[in-house]
């Protein structure tokens, strides 16, 4: 295996937004260093955030370092890596389409986070439990169907992947979003997925890819937990009928 020249900086112990970048590397067999999971890695990450490292000053992880390039924001990182890792077609229209889908998925990820932290990220879940239940109620009944229904319609038009015949980084992110929603809202997703056969098929097809199957079964794939973006609080997912 060749020496990695991509360095990914993200908080250790959680999948979070960094997992969307990890999946791109893992699916393509691209060597990379998950810096903060190694010795001294968190300190190195903080040096960037505090402005003590060269290059762009990132607002927050994840950010990618390649030589002198420092690139933050998950969607921007994937738009940069996509053509370099063969995760997007060569034409501009396809690349822009992939980026649009990725940005929409980023909105969904943000809304999923806000179900358990609707008031402030600085507060504990227990400090905003009432507001979280109300936010999650609307997220489950309105936003999950809207976002995933849109992906289903895209796949009905294009198929078998979001951009047509070629699997892209947007499909990898679709897989991760479905995994996260299943963890956080298992009752809601069990009901919702009945109307999403194409979304489920893309999820399953991505999970079966040989490199990703190995990664998903390895210790490198961190488990979901209640410190990440997708968190399972049973009171936010009491079950519902369609």
pLDDT of residue 239: 76
The answer, as to whether pTM is greater than 0.85, is yes
pLDDT of residue 2: 53
Q: What is the DSSP letter of 140?
A: I
Q: From edge to edge, which strands make up the β-sheet containing 63-66?
A: 33-34, 7-9, 63-66, 69-72
Which CATH code, of 3.40.30.10, 1.10.760.10, 1.10.1130.10, 3.30.565.10, is assigned to 7-84? 3.40.30.10
Please check whether the domain covering 92-209+228-236 is classified as CATH 3.30.70.20. no
pLDDT of residue 3: 57
Spans of the chain below 70 pLDDT: 1-4, 240-242
Identify whether the C-beta of residue 8 lies closer than 8 Å to the C-beta of residue 22.
yes
Angle at 174 between CA 170 and CA 177, to 5 degrees: 135
pLDDT of residue 4: 63
Identify whether the C-beta of residue 64 lies closer than 8 Å to the C-beta of residue 71.
yes
137 upstream amide cis, omega within 30 of 0: no
Q: At what angle do helices 169-184 and 144-157 cross, to 10 degrees?
A: 150
Residue ranges of domains in the chain:
7-84, 92-209+228-236
Our measurement of the distance from residue 204's CA atom to the centroid of its chain's CA atoms, rounded to an integer in Å, reads 16
Of 10, 170, 198, which is closest to residue 102 (Cα–Cα)?
A: 170
Phi-psi region of 63 (alpha: psi -120 to 50; beta: other; left: phi over 0): beta
DSSP-assigned letters across all residues of 90-147: SSHHHHHHHHHHHHHHHHHHHHHHHHH-SS-TTS-GGGGHHHHHHHHHHIIIIIHHHH
Q: The dihedral of CA 212, 99, 81, 144: what is its sign? A: negative
pLDDT of residue 242: 38
């Amino acid at each position: 295996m060749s020496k990695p020249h991509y360095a990914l900086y993200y908080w250790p112990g959680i999948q979070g937004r960094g997992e969307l970048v990890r999946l791109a590397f893992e699916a393509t067999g691209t060597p990379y260093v998950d810096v903060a999971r190694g010795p001294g890695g968190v300190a190195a990450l903080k040096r960037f955030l505090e402005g003590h490292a060269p290059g762009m000053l990132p607002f927050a992880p994840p950010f990618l370092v390649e030589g002198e390039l420092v690139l933050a924001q998950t969607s921007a990182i994937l738009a940069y890596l996509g053509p370099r890792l063969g995760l997007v077609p060569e034409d501009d229209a396809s690349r822009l389409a992939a980026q649009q889908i990725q940005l929409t998925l980023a909105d969904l990820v943000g809304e999923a986070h806000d179900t358990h932290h609707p008031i402030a990220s600085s507060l504990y879940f227990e400090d905003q439990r009432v507001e979280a239940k109300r936010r999650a109620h609307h997220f489950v009944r309105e936003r999950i169907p809207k976002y995933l229904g849109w992906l289903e319609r895209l796949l009905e038009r294009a198929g078998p992947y979001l951009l047509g015949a070629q699997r892209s980084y947007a499909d990898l992110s679709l897989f991760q979003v479905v995994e996260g929603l299943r963890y956080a809202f298992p009752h809601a997703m069990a009901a919702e997925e009945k109307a999403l056969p194409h979304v489920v098929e893309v999820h399953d097809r991505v999970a079966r890819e040989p490199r990703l199957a190995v990664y998903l079964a390895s210790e490198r794939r961190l488990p979901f937990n209640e410190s990440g973006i997708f968190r399972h609080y049973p009171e936010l997912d009491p079950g519902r009928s369609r």
